[in-house]
Amino acid sequence: MRNAKEGRITKEMEIVAKNEQVESEFIRRGIANGRIIIPKSNQRDTDPLGIGEGLLVKINANIGSSKRVCDIQGEVEKAKIAVKYGADTVMDLSTGVTEEDVKKIRSLILSETKIPIGTVPIYQSALRAIEKKGAIINFDEDDLFNVVKEQAKEGVDFFTIHVGVTKEIVNYLRQHPRHMGVVSRGGTFLAAWILENDLENPFNKNYDYLLEMATEYDFTLSLGDGMRPGCIFDSTDYAQVQELMEISKLVKRARDKNVQVMVEGPGHIPAHEIERNIKIMKSVCDGAPFYVLGPLVTDIAPGYDHLVSAIGGVLAGLAGADYLCYVTPSEHLALPNKDEVKRGVIASKIAAHAVNIAKYGKKASNWDYKMDLARKNLDWEEMIKQSIDPDLSRETHYRNGNIDDDVCSMCGEFCAIKLLKDALDKKALKKEF
């Protein structure tokens, strides 16, 4: 960001400009004013990725172990699956079984992927507090910042940190309970700590120190939405909006220190409120890149929340969201397995692609053009190749055995494309003779 403000175009800016099919100066200006970010640590070699205003919408996939399910190699495989099916970034949200497990998973993901990697460092702080001090809320300020520094040295590219969860908001919720309370894990850890100690959020109180670390290691701050609504009935309430107002101040402070920053958003939001939420955020945070979880537009679909999220993602993207966090079919139910990670990524990728077509036309729709040309020519192998999930397309097309190469098993000889093609060919042949 300092380079951008001083008029210098870096190698990373040039790479992003080429990938986005825009001028390098467009990227430089966007980074200088804080509306574009390139989340890339100076401790690790990764492929530069641009997120923000005027750029294609990107997607993130969350993976990570839990205290109940911890398969170290399995989490690494999930990260690779996410990359294979189109995730632009991966966040490791591991919480167990032990702190050493968490470190091992993160180390392997950092070494075996080339895309930007994010974490929520308070998860490791909480795990360390359990192991060494007996309870999650027994961490202290040093525990929080030591973990951030430790992970920054390893090359984590961006951190979700819930700096906007303040003592004032937590005390408000004591007097005005929500339907679902606080559903963000990181937000809850900090809210519980604030209630236990009657002190201000250490990340908020010591925000300048956090910015100093971000400057040293060039990581990006993702200001977490600890008060995001966990159900549609908490949408756009006082706690959510008040946290956003606090975050807006923190965005400005980060930019003043040349720290790249993005803002995280809800959450569970009814479809008709999504555009309003995005526009409010973009307005109060001066166009900072907006990173949304979903949003989920209904609460009734466990097992299908990847579809609910994709619906919300399209609406959010069209309204100005820059970055979609996927949701898997196991959301609200269990830790996702590899297949659920794949399905979550694909659903989110489809949503982002749909938005990009609507916003950027030909720049985004060339993939669709190749598919449509293959369909017109009844070229099944090319159709399968152009599919977002070629393996599924091949399996589905051939599941009824060997069939006529020209048609599928749905229409057979009634295929509209084949019928018209045959009629036109016959007409052309008659004209020739």
Q: pTM (2 decimals)?
A: 0.95
- The 8-class DSSP code of residue 34 comes to T
Question: Nearest Cα to 295, choosing from 285, 280, 283, 272?
Answer: 272
pLDDT tens per residue across all 433 residues of the chain:
999 999 999 999 999 999 999 999 999 999 999 999 999 999 999 999 999 999 999 999 999 999 899 999 999 999 999 999 999 999 999 998 999 999 999 999 999 999 999 999 999 999 999 999 999 999 999 999 999 999 999 999 999 999 999 999 999 999 999 999 999 999 999 999 999 999 999 999 999 999 999 999 999 999 999 999 999 999 999 999 999 999 999 999 999 999 999 999 999 999 999 999 999 999 999 999 999 999 999 999 999 999 999 999 999 999 999 999 999 999 999 999 999 999 999 999 999 999 999 999 999 999 999 999 999 999 999 999 999 999 999 999 988 776 666 788 788 888 888 888 888 888 777 776 6
pLDDT score recorded for residue 422: 84
pLDDT score recorded for residue 330: 97
**CA atoms of 337 and 340, how far apart (whole Å):** 5
Mention the CATH class of domain 38-360. Answer: alpha beta
pLDDT score recorded for residue 433: 63
Q: Give every CB contact of residue 416 below 8 A, 6+ residues apart in sequence.
A: none
**CA atoms of 224 and 278, how far apart (whole Å):** 15
Q: Give every CB contact of residue 369 below 8 A, 6+ residues apart in sequence.
A: none
**CA atoms of 356 and 350, how far apart (whole Å):** 10
Question: Nearest Cα to 235, choosing from 282, 187, 268?
Answer: 268
pLDDT score recorded for residue 413: 81
Read off φ and ψ for residue 292, nearest 5 degrees: -115, 140
pLDDT score recorded for residue 400: 79
pLDDT score recorded for residue 402: 63
Residues of each domain in the chain carrying CATH 3.20.20.540:
38-360
Question: Nearest Cα to 292, choosing from 272, 320, 271?
Answer: 320
Identify the H or E element spanning 89.
strand 89-92
pLDDT score recorded for residue 151: 98
